[in-house]
Amino acid sequence: MKLSPHWLRDFVDLPVDYTRLANELTLAGVAVEGISGEGDSTVFEMEITTNRPDAMNHYGVAREASALYDLPLKPIEPRLPLPQGKTDVTIDIQEPDLCPRFTAREIRGVTIKPSPPHIAGRLQLLDQRPISNAVDATNYVLWETGKPTHVFDLDLLEGGRLIIRKARAGETLKTLDGVERKLSPDDLVVADAKKPVGLAGVMGGFDSMITEHTKNILIESAWWDPVTVRRMSKRHGLHTDASHRFERGADFESTIPSTNRVAELILASGGGTLIGEVTDVVARQLDLAPVELDLREAHRILGEKLSPLEISRILTRLGFTMLPGGEDTYLVHIPSWRLDIEREIDIIEELARLHGYDKFPNTLPAYSGEVRDVPDALKDARLRSTLLALGYNETISLTFISKDDARRFSPAPELDLANPLSDEASAMRTSMLPGMINMLAYNLNRGTDNVRLFEAGNVFEAGPDSKALQLKRIALGATGNVDPDVVRGLTAAAASRPLSFFDLKGDIDALLAPFSQWTLYYDAQTAGYYHPGRSARAVLDGATVAQFGQIHPDLAAARKLRQDVFLAELYLDRLFQHDLLQVRYDALPRFPAVERDFSFAFDDGVEFETIHQSISGLGIAELRSFVPVEIFRGEKVAAGKYSILMRVKLQSRERTLRDDEVARCSAQITKALEGLGGTQRT
C-alpha cells in the first residue's frame, strides 16, 4: 500500500527527513519497502503485516511516529454545524453477532461535484481515482483513519430504513462494479425495505450509488464480523479496500468519528444541511479484555530493564492505558483499534520494537536444564556447510503451494488448508521445488542472472488414517554461468561458461560423498517435470535419495523462465539413514601408478553409468579410478553412436606393477567394454 509522508505531518510534527523516517519506521516494524517522488509528492510503498490493520492508514502510521519520536499526536476532531430537525431513517440490525454496531448520518441538499484539489490530489498520489466529492470523502477517510465508510443516495433507499440481515435465497445485488451477483443465505447484506443495497463490508450496491443527480445522502459506518466478510469476499471473488480491512478487524469505536469526518468533508465541498443527530445502533458491545503486564517478565524476555517511565511513555503514545496492579505489575487496557493485542507477550513486543531492537545488548538467554542432542544435527550441518562452500545461498519460502503444484511435483496426496490465503497457497507443500522455482524466477525477473540457492525444510503428505506426515528435504536451484578459477592466463569472465547438468551432478556427488554407502549409481528414471535428457536420480544402497536436472522445457515456458534452470531435491529421510563416514588416515602410496587410456565407440543407448558398473564389477584390486575424459560425436563416428575416451588408473600398495600385470588388467577391461557392444578405436 502507498502512504504520503507529507500527509503524516497533519498529525505529528516530524523532526526528521523522509529517508530517515522510512528507515526508522521499518526498524520499528512498520516496513517502508520503497520511496518514490520528492518533496510534498513523496510516496512510501508500505508493507504492513496482516495483523496490523490499524497501521494501514496515515493516522495509524502517524501514531507509530508519535511513539517513535515521543511527540504528541494531533487528534482528528470533525467540526460540524448544528443539525436541523430530526432524521427519519431507522436502522434494524437482525444479525447482532455479525454486525454489533451500525452508525448513520443524514445530509440533505448536497451538490455533487468534483472534489477540492487538495482532496483529489492526495488521492491521486496514492493511485486512487477521484470520482465525486461525496465518494471521495469516504475514500479520503479510509486512507486517513483506516475506517471504511459508505454513502447512499437517500432518495433511492425504499422505506426510509436500513436492515442488516442475511440474504434470501434467489436475491441478487448489482454491485458498484456493475456486476449482477447471485446471493445466498450465507451472505450478509445491507437492505432497504424491499431489496439488498450493499454486500456488508465488501461493496455497495449500484442502484443506490451517488450520481450527479443525488441531493440527499446517507452516510454509514459499521463494524462487521471479520470471518463473515472474508468468506463473502472469497465467495464472490471480490477483494476491496474495505474488505481488506474489515476481514482483519476494524476499530469498533471508530464508527461515529468516521461518520462525522465524512460528513464534515461533504458539507465543506458540497454544502447541504446536516439532519438530526447521528444514529448509532449498538446491538452488542465489543470490549477488549485488559492484559496484566509483569515488569519482571518483560525484563526477563527483553534482556534489559526498561524503566516504568519508558514503558509508560511507549504504551501511552500508542493509545494504551496503564493502571497500577500488584508489585511490579500493571493492568494494561487495550485501545479499540489494536485487536492483535491479546497476551502479555504482545505488550512486551510493542515495548521492544518502539524502544528499538538495535538498542538491546547481545546477551545469551538464561537457561537451566538438560541440553539434548538434536537428531541428525551433524548431518544437517555437513550438508549446509558443503552447499555454502559450493557457492549456494540459503533461502526460505512459504510452506504453502497451489493444489496444481502439489499434484504436479509429487504423487503423494496433498493436505488442503481449511482457510487458505489464496488459491496459490491452498495446500501444504508436497515438494520443495515449486518454492525454489518461484525464488529463481524472482531473481531472474530482477536482473540477477547467476543464482545458486538452497532451502532445507519439511514437505507434508497425507498419510494413513488421514494423519499428516512430515518429511525432511533439501532443494537446490541454480541458473546462469559458472565462474571458474583463472586458467591459462584467461580472466574468469572470459573463461565463464553456462551452467550444465554435469555441474549440478558434481554438486550432488559432493553432498553424498560424506555418507557411508555400499553402492551409489545414477540413472535417468526421473519425474516428468525434469528434462528427459538432462536429468538423473541418485540411488544409494537401493533407495532413491535425490533427483536432479534441468527443468522440463514445457514447465520452463509456463513459468516464463528465460534461461536454463537446474533443480535438485534430496530426500533426507532416506539419506539420513546412512551414517557420516569417519575420517581416517590413509598414507600416500609408495609405489607409482600406471594410467591407460581406452577409446571406444558405443551406441547412444549405452550410458556411462552402465559402463562404470561393468568395470567396477570386474573386481580388479589394483583399479584406483575409472573416469571419462572426452566424448565425441560426428565426422568419423557413425550416426547413433558416440566415441568416448576413458582413463584407468592402476596402482598396487605392495609393489610396482609389472607390464604383464598391467596388460592383464587392460585385457579384462577391454573385454568388458566389448561385452557392452563397444568397438575399440585406434
Cα–Cα distance, 104 to 259 (Å, whole number): 7
Tell whether 47 is covered by a domain: yes
For residue range 448-463, what is the model confidence (pLDDT) as tens digits?
A: 989 999 999 999 988 7
Do 529 and 500 share a structural domain?
yes
Q: Where among 69, 99, 126 does a domain terminate?
A: 69
How many angstroms separate the CA atoms of 8 and 179, rounded? Answer: 36
177 and 158, same structural domain?
yes
Strand partners, 43: 36
For residue 332, the domain's CATH number is 3.30.56.10
CATH assignment at residue 219: 3.50.40.10
Q: Are 473 and 571 in contact (CB under 8 A)?
A: yes
- Shared domain check, 489 and 383: yes
Helices (H), 356-445: 377-389, 403-408, 433-444
The pLDDT mean for the chain works out to 92
**Last residue in a domain, options 282, 305, 329:** 282
Domain membership flag for residue 534: yes
> For the domain that residue 601 is a member of, what is the CATH number?
3.30.70.380
User: Within a domain: residue 363?
Assistant: no
What pLDDT is recorded for position 422?
A: 86
Flag whether 583 is in a domain: no
| Residue pLDDT, tens place only, 567-617 | 999 999 999 999 999 888 878 889 999 999 999 999 999 989 899 989 999
pTM of model > 0.85: no
pLDDT value at residue 495: 57
Burial class (CB in 10 A: 0-12, 13-18, 19+), 680: exposed
- Asked whether residue 227 falls in the same domain as residue 161, the answer is yes
Sequence-separated (6 or more) residues with CB below 8 Å from residue 659: none
Q: What's the CA gap between 54 and 436, in Å, rounded?
A: 34
Structural domain includes residue 78:
no
397 and 343 part of one domain: no
User: What band does 486 get if pLDDT is binned at 50, 70 and 90?
Assistant: very low
pLDDT 10s digits, 610-619: 999 899 999 9
Strand order in the sheet with 2-3: 2-3, 43-47, 31-36
Residues 186-192, mean pLDDT to the nearest whole number: 96
Alpha-carbon Rg for the chain in angstroms: 35
Q: Let me know whether 633 and 525 are in one domain.
A: no
The CA distance from 384 to 373, in Å, is 18
498 forms beta bridges with 481
CA–CA–CA angle 312, 316, 322 (5° rounding): 60
- Give the pLDDT of residue 176: 95
Q: Name beta bridge partners: 222.
A: 102
Residues 179 and 322 in one domain: no
pLDDT mean over 99-126? 96
For the chain, how many structural domains are there in total?
5
% of the chain exceeding 70 in pLDDT: 97
Give me the pLDDT at residue 217, please.
97
Residue ranges with strand state E in 357-486: 393-394, 400-401, 427-428, 451-462, 468-479, 481-482
80 domain residue, yes or no: no
391 and 533 within one domain: yes
Q: Give the pLDDT score at 366.
A: 67
| Per-residue pLDDT tens digits for 226-276 | 999 999 999 999 999 999 999 999 999 999 999 999 999 999 999 999 999
- pLDDT band for position 287 (50/70/90)? confident
Is 179 in the same domain as 222? yes
pLDDT at residue number 682: 76
Q: Out of 254-258, 328-332, 400-404, give the one with best mean pLDDT.
A: 254-258
pLDDT in tens, 27-78: 999 999 999 999 999 999 999 999 999 999 999 999 999 999 999 999 999 9
User: What pLDDT does 361 receive?
Assistant: 84
**Residue-range definition of the domain harbouring residue 667:** 594-680
* pLDDT, mean of residues 8-13: 96
Does 365 have pLDDT greater than 80? no
The single-letter code of the amino acid at 610 is: T
Position 211 in a domain: yes
507: left (phi over 0), alpha (psi -120 to 50) or beta: alpha
**Contact (Cβ atoms closer than 8 angstroms) between residue 571 and residue 544:** yes
Give the end of a domain, one of 282, 317, 349.
282
Nearby residues of 510 by Cβ (< 8 Å), 6 or more positions away: 386, 390
Provide the pLDDT confidence category of residue 485 given band limits of 50, 70 and 90.
very low
What DSSP string runs through 577-607? TSPBPPP---PPPSS--EEEEEEEEEETT--
Q: Please say whether the beta carbons of 644 and 626 come within 8 A.
A: no
- 225 and 125 in a common domain: yes
pLDDT number for residue 358: 87
Task: Check which CATH number belongs to the domain holding 541 and give it.
Answer: 3.30.930.10
Residues 12 and 132 in one domain: no
Q: Tell me, yes or no, whether 178 and 210 share the same domain.
A: yes
Higher-scoring residue by pLDDT: 316, 518: 316
Q: Per-residue pLDDT for 222 more than 60?
A: yes
Q: How long, in residues, is the chain?
A: 682
In a domain, 309, yes or no: yes
Confidence of residue 423 (pLDDT cuts 50, 70, 90): confident
